[in-house]
Amino acid sequence: MLREFMSKFGVREFDVVRLVLRDGSELVGVVLPKPEVGDPNVMVVKLDNGYNVGIHISNIAKLEVQGHVESPMASTVPIGKFVRSEPTGLPRVRLVATGGTIMSKVDYRTGAVYPSFSLEDLYTMYPEIKGIADLELLNLMAIFSEDMTPRRWSEMAEAVYKAFMEGVEGVVVLHGTDTMHYSAAAMSFAIRNPPGPVAFVGSQRSSDRPSSDAFENLLAAVLVAARAPFAGSVLVMHAGTSDGLIAVHRGTRVRKMHTSRRDTFISINSEPLAYVDINKLEIKMNTSDFRARGKPEDTTLMNKFDDKVALVKFYPGMDPEILHFLIDRGYHGIVIEGTGFGHVRAELLDPIKRAIDSGIPVVITSQTIFGRVNLNVYRRGVELLRLGVIPGEDMIPEVAFVKLSWVLAQTKDMNEVRRLMLTPIDHEISPRSEVNTYINKVSNT
């Protein structure tokens, strides 16, 4: 095994080693930690040119230790630490770090990606921020965004609410991009009438990569938190693949639409709320329909979420047992992404009826993303309405899932659940869906 093999030559992780292979060739590099998956007998080494190579121990004739580099993870700041810069009279903006690529660096000696949670690092990488706001930094959590949960939304909302109660002008939440739109929606419901912006920001590439989008995204988010005329949860990321223009999306109207593009986030059934011109450091409003900044005393924290809500995507031949399983496991609510106007196969009608008769609300959304649910057009939709499903209007499925989780933490009364789900709270439902230019952008991607 690899560990025994390394021990034989006195080699540790992060040692600089010279390898002599059985074919006579030689390599020099840093021994990286063994991946959790893959061949257990392969040693991973980072070469001087930056590439990682995997070498099976059967091909290694000799190992020679030439030095050692320290693991960068030793410098991670503990969770819960709060630091602030010296006040200068600029607007106070609190950064709430939850993890993600935007607060990560690559250590090119080792190839490891690690979090960097210090104001000193931020000011070193982004000196322009000093002229915009007095920054405060809370290292709330350091997780992959796919590990976000409704309980962590509650923790996040409490931290954001506390920041506003302590007098900040705005909050920037540093978050991994994969589930950032879920969290942005969650803050839209959990913090009622916030006095300023809650600006979610992330990056597709780590801060020290030449092609990183982190700098402009973070600069724009701090600018929004400090100076924007509006309040509420928004998501701030690149508007295109080129630099210079950042889009500000409503927290309930945005979705990640590409795995790697810098302009991965797109407003759905809506236009972006605003744009930030990085070169001029200007916020350009894209609509007059927004909630203005308010007073902290008008803000209410409603940060409870029900973690027994499921989001299910319908597909041809979907087994009704999937819904029966959720009912039997005690789920409190179900959101279904139906086809087109919001349809499912006939075989799902029985478990849907069973759920609703058991006091489990079922919300129907559309997996087409753009457009809105209309259950009055075809017979299947009418059948679903007769069973008592809640039409999701033009809500994004992820937003409907977050909203139902929030609603069920407030009430389990079916009539009240229906009323709240069909009542616009923060632009998640509109009377008329917009056909915006982003549809063309998606179709041409």
In the prediction, which pLDDT does 152 show?
A: 97
Q: Active site includes 259? A: no
For 229, the token pair is 């005329």
Sheet with 82-84, strands from edge to edge, namely 82-84, 134-139, 92-97, 170-174, 197-201, 232-238, 245-250, 274-277, 282-285
Task: Dump pLDDT digits (tens) for 355-386.
Answer: 999 999 999 999 998 999 999 999 999 999 99
Find the mean pLDDT for residues 237-251.
94
Distance CA 107, CA 367 (A): 40
**170 with 197: CB under 8 angstroms?**
yes
Question: Predicted confidence band at 432 (pLDDT cuts at 50, 70, 90)?
Answer: confident
* Nearest residue to 422 (alpha-carbon basis) of 368, 378, 369, 364: 364
Fold type of domain 75-301: Rossmann fold (3.40.50)
Which residue of the set 98, 110, 177, 252 is catalytic?
A: 177
pLDDT higher at 84 or 33: 84
Locate CATH 2.30.30.520 in the chain: 2-69
Q: What mean pLDDT is predicted for residues 205-232?
A: 83
- Reported as a pLDDT band with limits 50, 70 and 90, residue 33 is confident
Q: Are 302 and 190 in contact (CB under 8 A)?
A: yes
The pLDDT, as a whole number, for residue 330 is 98
Give, in words, the CATH class of 309-421.
alpha beta
Higher pLDDT, 124 or 237: 237
Report pLDDT for 107: 52
- pLDDT tens for residues 199-215? 999 988 655 454 568 78
Q: Does the pLDDT value for residue 350 go beyond 70? A: yes
SS3 content of the chain, % helix, strand, coil (to 5): 30, 25, 45
**Residue 256 falls in the annotated catalytic set:** yes
Q: Check if 162 is active-site.
A: no
Q: Give, as one character, the DSSP assignment of residue 217.
A: H
Is 1.10.10.10 the CATH classification of the domain at 2-69?
no
Residue 178 designated active-site: yes
Pinpoint the residues of the chain covered by CATH 3.40.50.40. Answer: 309-421
In terms of Cα–Cα distance, which of 402, 179, 186, 370 is closest to 268? 370
Q: Is the pLDDT of residue 49 over 70?
A: no
What are the tens digits of pLDDT across the range 10-20? 998 888 999 99
| Dist. CA 432–CA 323, nearest whole Å | 31
Give pLDDT, residue 124. 63
Which of 34, 98, 101, 110 is an active site residue? 101
Q: Which tokens in the block code for residue 302?
A: 């409603």
Residue of 178, 263, 394, 426 with catalytic role: 178
